[in-house]
A and B are shown apart, each in its own frame.
Chain A
């Protein structure tokens, strides 16, 4: 066995079993230059994902046949957004008139959350896949929300008079994944809904995480059950979908 314990083969072998930064080697107590810079690159990408906003008009004026409406939370900038999650959960009142109550049954919100990178990478495709599966649901406008936490979907869904709001939101980035998207579904969205009243699918990030097609299937499965039982959240399923803490 001793012949296996050279540092290059150990690194290859251990890294076959985990994505952790194992077997990095060392110089004195320090990591090697290349490993140090690899870490800094991953951190830089995660930081950029947190701080780079969605470009104006990133999703155009219409997408997948639906008008696009842009709204903001009450957090005026990124620094405030990060320190005041309460403001990120509230719709800016100036934007309320953009959300005419039009008896949309299914409202789709594209929210920047903590990773605009994830939203730019996957949200348009996922919204399209959901709309393609919406069938008898009357889908409202695509609402693009900035400086948004999950619960901002409650204000938006309430303003649209929606039965169900589906929030596509950028996840808090880790070093190994800066582009991971989550989806939260809330039945009868109104301000004050609790996180336990939502269902979540996280780690939508093809090809490593959920694929767009599989995530859209799962969203519509939850949506159909929600319509049948007239609720979302804890207890909607006993099986594979559970409500997770919202951001």
Chain B
């Protein structure tokens, strides 16, 4: 006897497991087809949603999609679940949770209080019943604020990660992109470099360059070189100027092992970075990146769909009070998210689910050249996420990352979003832009020729002028 079934006009739709219900209820995407988990027909997809809508939320505490005994992420989810926070939601079904989230009477305080009572699987489940507009309007109502040297995620604000990558980690090349980004008002979420190498001396050199730039120009922001946590721990040991500790994470123990991390290692990295005490207005020191499909690509998906696994990665993230969580939504390629429509849907899901779980969500709104997507798709996704209240997006020169070979959002794209939606940078960074004369009294960039004072205090920037 199966608990998961529904009769539709004489056809009985049966689903053997909760994981199967979740997978088949998901909007169609190539990664779930690749894994053999997707619905076999459009009707079966809606049948799975009908089953899901009537499931009590308590089902997700009893029927675990990845076994407790063999997966430390499941243990984290169950062991940290807050029964008191769950109490007001305990009688709801998944369909009822959707209506509760969208009800005018559900205020922000109630939404925020619910975060610790919801598990990633509950949040994934309800997102599968939500239309795109539901994902926007529910996410918009939640404000998750974090802080280090500035304050990220305030309502009416949009921050950017200035991503000045260079194919050979050349200091002048990185500095050129940073200068360009600063002149266009970018960099309040973080100035963060993806290094081309994992070589620790090179990463140390980049960290010192970023720190020299930040201090020389007195910018109220944080820097990061995105490398494995073990490298960051080693660099902290060597006295390198580490602001934020970066790591890619996923939603199962096995997939995290594929990334070379465990919950214990993340805790060690968190403590080591926190101990540096470098934040001035807050103590959120972790920067996590995620993305649908990572568990499947490391053959560690346990028969669970890629969106549910992505939500489980958010449980990992929230255990370490991150400053930033970034879903790199279109990077993994068309075998996981095929086209602009699938990337848009995944972006809205990731943003909503992360926010509901209490995280400071940003998105790398991006695509590769073998996906069916272009810059027009990115414009639509960015606009919708701006409306949905996203904390930060990427700022890449001309939207073209010359190290990673993919397209993201540009410094200009962030200006566009701030302009059409009336959004402003993080308050400390906004004050700095005005103080150094890059913005006028109305907060607009002063001119295409705007310059920074005190460049001469920063050798790396002065060098750009010969």
Write the residues of chain A forming the contact surface with B, with a CB cutoff of 8 angstroms: 1-2, 4-7, 10, 13-15, 17-31, 35, 39-40, 42-43, 46-47, 49-50, 82-86, 114, 172-178
Contact = CB atoms under 8 A, between A and B. Distances in A.
Contact of A175 (B369, B370, B448, B465): B369
A5 B449 contact: yes
Given A18-B172, A83-B34, A86-B34, 5 more contacts: A21-B398, A31-B398, A82-B335, A172-B369, A175-B407
A24 B412 CA distance: 9
B307 to A, nearest CB: 17
Interface in B430-466: 448-449, 451, 455-456, 462, 464-466
Contacts of B175: 17
Given A17-B464, A82-B370, A84-B34, A26 B397 contact: no
B402 A19 contact: yes
A83 B176 contact: no
B212 interface: no
A20 B335 contact: no
A50 B184 contact: no
Nearest to A173: B369
Q: Which of B30, B402, B466 has the most CB of A within 10 A?
A: B402
B406 A174 contact: yes
Given A13-B465, A172-B370, A30 B412 contact: yes
Interface residues of B, number: 49
B451 A5 contact: yes
B448 A7 contact: yes
Contact of B412 (A4, A31, A177): A31
B427 to A, nearest CB: 21
A48 to B, nearest CB: 10
Contacts of A5: 449, 451
B83 to A, nearest CB: 42
Contacts of A1: 455-456, 462, 465
B334 A82 contact: yes
Given A1-B456, A18-B402, A26 B451 contact: no
23 contacts: A1-B455, A1-B462, A2-B451, A5-B451, A10-B449, A14-B176, A14-B464, A18-B173, A18-B174, A19-B402, A20-B177, A26-B415, A29-B416, A29-B418, A40-B375, A50-B370, A82-B338, A82-B370, A85-B34, A114-B370, A173-B370, A173-B405, A175-B400
A1 B455 CA distance: 9
A1 B462 CA distance: 9
A49 B369 CA distance: 9
B465 A4 contact: yes
Given A18-B166, A43-B374, A174 B176 contact: no
B334 A42 contact: no
Interface in B325-349: 334-335, 338
A82 B164 CA distance: 29
B170 interface: yes
Contact of A43 (B170, B375, B405): B375
B397 A24 contact: yes
Contact of A19 (B30, B167, B369, B456): B167
Contacts of B166: 18, 20
Interface string B385-421: 0000000000011111010011100101001101100
Interface in B148-181: 164-167, 170, 172-177, 179-180
Contacts of B132: none
Contacts, number: 137
Interface in B85-119: none
A83 B38 CA distance: 13
A13 B464 contact: yes
A14 B179 contact: yes
Contacts of A26: 184, 412, 415, 448
Contacts of A30: 412, 416
Given A1-B465, A43-B374, A84 B335 contact: yes
A83 to B, nearest CB: 5
B402 A47 contact: no
Contacts of B448: 7, 25-27
A49 B179 CA distance: 33
A2 B406 CA distance: 35
A216 to B, nearest CB: 23
Contact of B402 (A20, A28, A114): A20
Given A14-B180, A30-B412, A39-B375, A83 B30 contact: yes
Contacts of B374: 43
A17 B173 contact: yes
Contact of B176 (A18, A82, A85): A18
A176 B397 CA distance: 13
A193 to B, nearest CB: 15
A141 B167 CA distance: 36
Contacts of B451: 2, 5
Contacts of A13: 176, 464-466
Nearest to A47: B369
B195 to A, nearest CB: 15
Given A21-B398, A31-B412, A172 B368 contact: yes
Nearest to B396: A20
A114 B334 CA distance: 12
Given A43-B407, A172-B369, A20 B466 contact: no
Contacts of B338: 82-83
B465 A18 contact: no
A28 B420 CA distance: 11
Given A6-B449, A14-B464, A82-B370, A20 B334 contact: no
Contacts of A172: 368-370, 405
Contacts of B405: 172-177
